[in-house]
């Protein structure tokens, strides 16, 4: 099954480009430390998922590029073509001239309806090109105007036009200390609207990735390109082919469906976080050796202790004792412990079949709604990813993003109380009522995740 990627706005297009580059680099890299047959299956599965083959032979990304100003798309198309290995379809993009001005209302209420037909036509074409459509993946930021506002509108249109398809939004959360002054407003509006049409939100936070670049990747002068490459690596480790069940089975044909089935048992809880380990500069890879028990021990503690990365983990945090009488909504519960609804661990590389994942099936990590065997899933492949001999990725539906979400809503509310900037949104048809609705939706989500 194939996934159609929709790249929205500057961030969405820059990240999307890095994702496809990363997938290709992985395919072309020195052999993935597995059998030739395994390698062939992997390559075929990846290509079917993300690319189609042109008559002249080269892989073309299954993607639609959308932006309200031309510079970024133009750059993205030419960078891909210059790679010499893959490219975008020259006709699968839509752009305008004047941008959205960081105004969610402009993206959602003006550009959306105005360009709906043209954009949906492109998406329809791309969907029809797939033998079997496995769903849509949108990449966008929530801080600006196009990715956020137009992105929310397009998501809603996708839901209407493809009611039975899976829709996953890959959402980039901005740096806490401003890239855009109205970023919190744009974020609140985006999240509340996506919650209604999307199946799940897979989140990357710029602050977290930045720390990874600084402390793990040892990059001195970190650029957005560096940040985007780490994001792409993490996303690649989720979406490159894996075997969902025990060994011997084929590569999964339905990655989005499998992901959602594993992680989103209830529509009120759709916010997914990503953690990936190990993370290091490419030139250090050859000198490092990891053991699966070591990696998984770190990954588990990262989950429990809300760690952003594998350095600075708080090892003091422990799950609450089993069968204790602490009710779930009481304030006695250790606040720094991250309660999960469901987790998915993806393992790639040498000796995956030997890995013991029992520690992730510990019921004390989870809410009581699901059986522990339903709350935890593992996907594996012996095929190493992107030159990492062993790598483990965690996709988690838990309280990871509760605090950042609460912070965004808090700052937005603070600004809203003074009515600052509201006139800019009202100019394009978003009223105070609409803001209040969005705040209400998100306070509900926050409350739901808090009382896990």
Partner 1 sequence: AVSLPFAVGQCGNQVGCRFWDLALREHAAVNKKGIYDEALSSFFRNVDIRSGDDGPDIYKGKICSLKARALLIDMEEGVVNEILQGPLRDVFDSKQLITDVSGSGNNWAVGHKLYGCQYRENIVEKLRKTAEHCDCLQCFFIIHSMGGGTGSGLGTFVLNLLEDEFPEVYRFVTSVYPSGEDDVITSPYNSVLAMKELNEHADCVLPIENESLFDIVNKINQMINSGKLGSTVKKNSLITSSTGSAKTLQEKPFDAMNNIVANLLLNLTSSARFEGSLNMDLNEISMNLVPFPRLHYLVSSLTPLYTLADVNVPSRRLDQMFSDAFSRDHQLIQADPKHNLYLACALLVRGNVQVSDLRRNIERLKPSLHFVSWNQEGWKTGLCSVPPVGHSHSLLALANNTCVKPTFIELKDRFMKLYKKKAHLHHYLQIDGMEQSCFSEAVSSLSDLIEEYNELDATKDGPRTNPSRLKIAV
* Interface residue list for partner 1 (CB under 8 A): 10, 14, 69-72, 74-75, 96-103, 145, 175-182, 210, 213-214, 219-225, 227, 329, 409-411, 413-415, 417-421, 423-424, 439-440, 443-444, 447, 451
Q: Which phi and psi (to 5°) does residue 298 adopt?
A: -65, -45
Among residues 52 and 439, whose Cβ is nearest to partner 1? 439
For residues 404 and 205, is the Cβ–Cβ distance under 8 A? yes
Give the helix ranges, DSSP H, for 29-92.
36-50, 70-82
Among residues 74 and 254, whose Cβ is nearest to partner 1? 74
Minimum distance between the CB of residue 78 and partner 1, rounded to whole angstroms? 11
Q: Is 286 exposed, middle or buried (0-12, 13-18, 19+ CB in 10 A)?
A: exposed
Minimum distance between the CB of residue 276 and partner 1, rounded to whole angstroms? 21
Among residues 180 and 271, whose Cβ is nearest to partner 1? 180
Minimum distance between the CB of residue 146 and partner 1, rounded to whole angstroms? 11
Q: Is 442 exposed, middle or buried (0-12, 13-18, 19+ CB in 10 A)?
A: buried
Q: Which residues contact 160 (CB under 8 A, 6 or more apart)?
A: none
Among residues 305 and 415, whose Cβ is nearest to partner 1? 415
Minimum distance between the CB of residue 27 and partner 1, rounded to whole angstroms? 26
CA quadruple 412, 414, 420, 425: dihedral, nearest 10? 30
Give how far Cα 210 sits from Cα of 9, 206, 221, 225, 308, Å.
21, 6, 11, 11, 10
In terms of Cα–Cα distance, which of 435, 386, 432, 381 is closest to 409?
Answer: 435
Q: Is 379 exposed, middle or buried (0-12, 13-18, 19+ CB in 10 A)?
A: buried
Minimum distance between the CB of residue 404 and partner 1, rounded to whole angstroms? 14
Minimum distance between the CB of residue 234 and partner 1, rounded to whole angstroms? 18
Among residues 210 and 390, whose Cβ is nearest to partner 1? 210
Minimum distance between the CB of residue 36 and partner 1, rounded to whole angstroms? 40
How far apart CA 228 and CA 217 sit, in angstroms, is 13
Rg of the chain on CA atoms, in Å: 21
């Amino acid at each position: 099954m194939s996934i159609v990627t929709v790249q929205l706005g500057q961030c969405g297009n820059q990240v999307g480009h890095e994702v496809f580059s990363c997938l290709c680099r992985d395919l072309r890299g020195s052999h993935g430390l597995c059998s030739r047959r395994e390698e062939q299956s992997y390559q075929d599965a990846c290509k079917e998922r993300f690319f189609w083959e042109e008559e002249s032979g080269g892989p073309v990304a299954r993607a639609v590029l959308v932006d309200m100003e031309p510079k970024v798309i133009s750059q993205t198309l030419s960078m891909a073509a210059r790679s010499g290995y893959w490219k975008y379809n020259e006709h699968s993009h839509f752009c305008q001239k004047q941008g959205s001005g960081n105004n969610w209302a402009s993206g959602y209420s003006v550009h959306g309806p105005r360009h709906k037909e043209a954009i949906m036509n492109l998406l329809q074409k791309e969907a029809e090109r797939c033998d079997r459509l496995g769903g849509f993946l949108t990449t966008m930021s929530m801080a600006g105007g196009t990715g956020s506002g137009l992105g929310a509108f397009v998501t809603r249109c996708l839901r209407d036009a493809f009611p039975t398809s899976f829709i996953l939004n890959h959402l980039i959360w901005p740096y806490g200390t401003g890239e855009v002054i109205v970023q919190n407003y744009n974020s609140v509006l985006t999240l509340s609207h996506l919650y209604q049409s999307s199946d799940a939100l897979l989140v990357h936070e710029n602050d977290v990735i930045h720390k990874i670049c600084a402390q793990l990747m040892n990059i001195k002068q970190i650029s957005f390109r560096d940040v985007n490459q780490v994001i792409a690596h993490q996303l690649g480790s989720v979406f490159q082919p894996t075997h969902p069940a025990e060994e011997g089975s084929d590569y999964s044909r339905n990655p989005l469906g499998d992901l959602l089935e594993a992680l989103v048992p209830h529509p009120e809880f759709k916010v997914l976080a990503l953690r990936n380990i190990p993370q290091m500069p490419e030139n250090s890879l050859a000198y490092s050796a990891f053991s699966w028990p070591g990696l998984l021990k770190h990954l588990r503690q990262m989950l429990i202790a809300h760690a952003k990365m594998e350095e600075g983990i708080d090892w003091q945090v422990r799950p609450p004792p089993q069968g204790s009488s602490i009710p779930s909504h009481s304030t006695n519960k250790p606040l720094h412990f991250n309660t999960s609804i469901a987790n998915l661990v993806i393992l790639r590389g040498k000796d995956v079949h030997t890995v013991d994942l029992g520690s992730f099936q510990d019921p004390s990590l989870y809410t009581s709604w699901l059986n522990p065997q339903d709350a935890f899933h593992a996907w594996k492949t012996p095929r190493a990813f992107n030159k990492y001999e062993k790598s483990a990725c965690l996709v988690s539906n838990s309280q990871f993003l509760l605090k950042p979400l609460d912070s965004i809503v808090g700052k937005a509310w603070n600004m809203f109380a003074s009515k600052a900037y509201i006139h800019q949104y009202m100019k394009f048809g978003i009223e105070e009522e609409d803001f209040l609705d969005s705040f209400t939706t998100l306070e509900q989500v926050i409350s739901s995740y808090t009382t896990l």
